[in-house]
Amino acid sequence: MSSNGTSQATEQSKVELRNVSKGYGDAWEREEVISNLTLDINPGELTAIVGPSGCGKSSLVNLIAGFERPDSGEILLDGKPITGPGQDRMVVFQESALIPWQTAYQNVVFGPQLRGDMSRSELREEANRLLETVGLAEFKDKYPLQLSGGMQRRAELARALINQPKLMIMDEPFRGLDAMSRELMQEFFLKIFDETRRTQLFVTSEIEEAILLADRVVVLSNKPATVRTIIDIGLERPRDFHMMGSSEAYDYKRQAMEILHEEALKSFKTTGAQADFVDAYSRRNE
Ligand SMILES: Nc1ncnc2c1ncn2[C@@H]1O[C@H](COP(=O)(O)OP(=O)(O)OP(=O)(O)O)[C@@H](O)[C@H]1O
Ligand SMILES: [Mg+2]
């Protein structure tokens, strides 16, 4: 935590996942969700994760956040095994986790106030600065229900950032927002990332979003999730939406789409969806 209350480049952390596997259910009913996954999340980089729906992205988030433990393999944060949740990792989910009876400002200061690890003036200054950064200065005294979906998400960003985590983990944080709010969020988010260059893991189902934001896009396989490919995104920073029209961006998108398409076809074959469909079709007149 910086002593003068302003946000500065924090220590840049790295995460290493080594042969991580995770399944749910017991013995013969066990279903593997993550299989032998090895991945480095590099310091100061934004790593985006994309993958087919239900492939195990949130399960991976839960492991890195420390909410769950892998069955085998290890996850290291700056060389130390992750054994449980910690203030050094902040997670922002799709679902709002704001406290409904507290204003945006109260939500933002809640964590540090509870821990008492910042002076009152430092906390006030930092909360106001962050609310300003996410465009909520005028709305800081509103309750979550008085804020739009996008504003709620921005309040959550501020609430996570005030803890100056070593690692920010975001699991489809902009899902469900309308196109305009989503673009706005991406802009705020890029601004914040450029300001802090805090190591960031960003799960999204939108490939374009992944390319716009990330330094590396990790494409996962179908369940059980493993790394299919990693695409290094060479677009310069600061980023903006115009870059998405470049041939470079188009190439990245095509690479990712090809793999996701292959995975979708595989799932179609292996889940028996095709067989079920043929069966249902043949019975349609019964
Ligand atoms: N706590 C749990 N107990 C049992 N099964 C679970 C649990 N958590 C996840 N799963 C299973 O693991 C698989 C992957 O789920 P997960 O939520 O990680 O996927 P996802 O890639 O995040 O999906 P989405 O794209 O829908 O967000 C699913 O089949 C799910 O049913
Ligand atoms: Mg998920």
Condensed to tens digits (0 to 9), the pLDDT of residues 21-56 reads 999 998 788 899 999 999 999 999 999 999 998 999
Q: Which of 136, 164, 192 is the last residue in one of the domains?
A: 164
**Cis amide prior to 224 (ω within 30 degrees):** yes
Domain identity same for 232 and 103: no
Residue 4 belongs to a domain = no
Helix boundaries (H) for the chain: 57-65, 104-115, 120-133, 149-161, 179-196, 207-213, 247-270, 273-282
Print the domain residue range for 109: 99-164
Structure tokens at 200: 């960031």
Residue 180 belongs to a domain = yes
Domain identity same for 181 and 270: yes
Residue 226 belongs to a domain = yes
Residue nearest to atom 30 of ligand 1 (CA): 54
Mutate to test the pocket of ligand 1, among 59, 201, 207 (most ligand atoms within 8 A of CB): 59
Residue 147 belongs to a domain = yes
Residue nearest to atom 3 of ligand 1 (CA): 24
Establish whether residue 57 lines the binding site of ligand 1, counting it when its CB lies within 6 angstroms of any ligand atom: yes
Domain identity same for 160 and 200: no
Ligand 1 mean position, distance from CA 165 (Å): 25
Domain identity same for 121 and 236: no
Q: Which of 111, 146, 164 is the last residue in one of the domains?
A: 164
Establish whether residue 17 lines the binding site of ligand 1, counting it when its CB lies within 6 angstroms of any ligand atom: no
Packed helices 104-115 and 149-161: angle between N→C axes, nearest 10 degrees: 20
Establish whether residue 271 lines the binding site of ligand 1, counting it when its CB lies within 6 angstroms of any ligand atom: no
Q: Is the predicted pLDDT of residue 252 greater than 50, yes or no? A: yes
Structure tokens at 33: 């969700």
Q: Which of 144, 164, 184 is the last residue in one of the domains?
A: 164
Contact 126, 7 (CB under 8 A): yes
* Total domains present in the chain: 2
- For residue 166, count other CB atoms closer than 10 A to its CB: 21
Whole-number pLDDT of residue 101: 97
| Residue with tokens 């507290």, as numbered in its chain | 102
Ligand in closest contact with the CA of 53 = 1
Mutate to test the pocket of ligand 1, among 21, 22, 24, 174 (most ligand atoms within 8 A of CB): 24
Residue 8 belongs to a domain = no
Whole-number pLDDT of residue 2: 40
Establish whether residue 228 lines the binding site of ligand 1, counting it when its CB lies within 6 angstroms of any ligand atom: no
Domain identity same for 153 and 175: no
Q: How many Cα atoms sit within 13 Å of 35 on the Cβ side?
A: 13
Domain identity same for 75 and 137: no
- Which atom of ligand 1 sits closest to the CA of residue 51? 21
Residue 77 belongs to a domain = yes
Residue 39 belongs to a domain = yes
Q: Is the predicted pLDDT of residue 286 greater than 80, yes or no? A: no
Ligand in closest contact with the CA of 56 = 1
Of 202, 266, 256, 262, the residue nearest 232 (C-alpha): 256
Domain identity same for 185 and 244: yes
Give 142-166 pLDDT, tens digit per residue: 999 999 988 999 999 999 999 989 9
Q: What is the pTM of this model?
A: 0.89
Domain identity same for 44 and 119: no
Of 79, 87, 93, 89, the residue nearest 15 (C-alpha): 79
Instruction: Residue 278: give its domain's CATH number.
Output: 3.40.50.300
Structure tokens at 81: 């095994």
Q: Is the predicted pLDDT of residue 234 greater than 50, yes or no? A: yes
Residue 248 belongs to a domain = yes
Q: In Å, what is the CA distance from 124 to each residue of 69, 106, 115, 118? A: 36, 10, 15, 9
Domain identity same for 107 and 80: no
Residues 119-132: what's their mean pLDDT? 95
Domain identity same for 221 and 150: no
Establish whether residue 53 lines the binding site of ligand 1, counting it when its CB lies within 6 angstroms of any ligand atom: yes
**Distance separating alpha carbons of residues 75 and 85, to the nearest angstrom:** 13
Domain identity same for 185 and 70: yes
Domain identity same for 25 and 146: no
**Distance separating alpha carbons of residues 61 and 41, to the nearest angstrom:** 12
Ligand 2 mean position, distance from CA 96 (Å): 14
